[in-house]
Amino acid sequence: MNYSVLARHLVRWVMVALVLCMAGCVTTRPPATPGSESGSLSAISPHATVREDGPTVERHLRSRFAETFDGCKASSGVLWPTFLCSGILMRGTGDYGAFYPWNPKPGSDVSFVWLRQDSNFLGSWVTNGFIFLPKFYADKFGDYSIHVNCAFADDSYTWIRGNRGCGATSSYPGESGPCHTVGVTTAEQYRAKYQPSNWFNERICGFDMRQASGLNTREAFYQMRRVMSMMGGASFNRWNELVVAEWPQNQAKLPLEAFYYISNPTKCGGGGTSPCPPWTTGRALAQRDQRNLVAVTGRWIPIIRITLATSVGERAVFIYDPADQGLAP
């Protein structure tokens, strides 16, 4: 027997078997869906700007949420409304389709919510959005200056209000205008005018936050927060509403701090009565927004996972998780 010939044949058969096994035995991984843990994660462009990394933003959000002081002291010594330096100013965006969510709808002001441990809530309207850095911090970066025009203690149906969301509704023209014009300057007056059974979204007044109004806007915002405390569970199960003046399209210096998604969405839609999409939908949309921001502006901001409090005494939790990112810094 020619053993050398036999050996050559054996080697050839082994090689063929290995090739067939590699072709037929390797498990094919399905395409990653948007928002999957690793399928959408890719390296950020080396030319992208990272102003603050994820852990830093998480730390800042946790700190500002935990604060309880009233008023932001300017260098002049004047106290301004607390949202200028504290809390979390958030805009829920959902699915903006082909549009970029950081651009406002032309001709209309923009609704935000303000979250802090003493202005806490479970309602979320939608499951994802972005967070603006408070003005006192944004100014240090030279960001575009954002202006809050009015603040409501509850979801206020701004789309049916005059004066770009801060005026009266046609249903209650004598009650739903700016609070100081309808005899309301304190939380007690607010409660007397809008008893719990009558806290209809389109009936309530809003506190004027415009500097040009000449009002004590720090005090007005403080009273708005006191209203939320007086409302108790009625407020906690929905959200407040701050109307921000429209900013220019494609503004390069917006005070964007983070994108976010809600990990426990339970109360969405009008008045917190509509079912919410799953948290995975919010995360996928946040990842898409993050990638688009880098592609359009060259700037990276983190995605933060927010777990809202489920009772009045609990706290919201803010987490930066590398697995949540659409692009890695």
Name residue 79's amino acid. Answer: L
pLDDT score recorded for residue 102: 96
**pTM, entire model:** 0.83
With pLDDT > 70 as the criterion, what percentage of the chain qualifies? 83
The domain total for the chain is: 1
Domain annotation covers residue 117:
yes
In a domain, 36, yes or no: no
- The answer to the question of residue 198 being in a domain is yes
pLDDT, tens digit (0-9, with 9 covering 90-100), for 295-317: 999 999 999 999 999 888 899 99
pLDDT digits (tens, 9 = 90+) for 197-244: 666 788 899 999 998 888 999 999 999 999 998 887 777 777 899 999
CA angle at 92 for the pair 203 and 74, rounded to the nearest 5° = 80
Short-list 87, 329, 132, CA closest to 245: 132
The answer to the question of residue 120 being in a domain is: yes
Other C-beta atoms lying within 10 Å of the C-beta of residue 51: 14
Q: Confidence class of residue 16 from pLDDT cuts 50, 70 and 90?
A: very low
Of 238, 215, 269, 250, nearest in space to 103 by CA: 250
DSSP of 273-302, one letter per residue? -BPPPPHHHHHHHHHHHHHHHHHHHSEE--
Read off the DSSP letter of residue 185. -
On whether residue 26 sits in a domain, the answer given is: no
Tell me the per-residue pLDDT of 153-169, one tens digit each, with 9 for 90 and over.
988 788 778 888 899 99
| The three-state (H, E, C) secondary structure of 134-162, written as one string | CHHHHHHHCCCCCCEEEEECCCCCHHHEC
**Could you give the CA distance from residue 285 to residue 7 in angstroms, rounded to a whole number?**
59
Host domain of residue 65: 42-328
Residue 5 lies in a domain: no
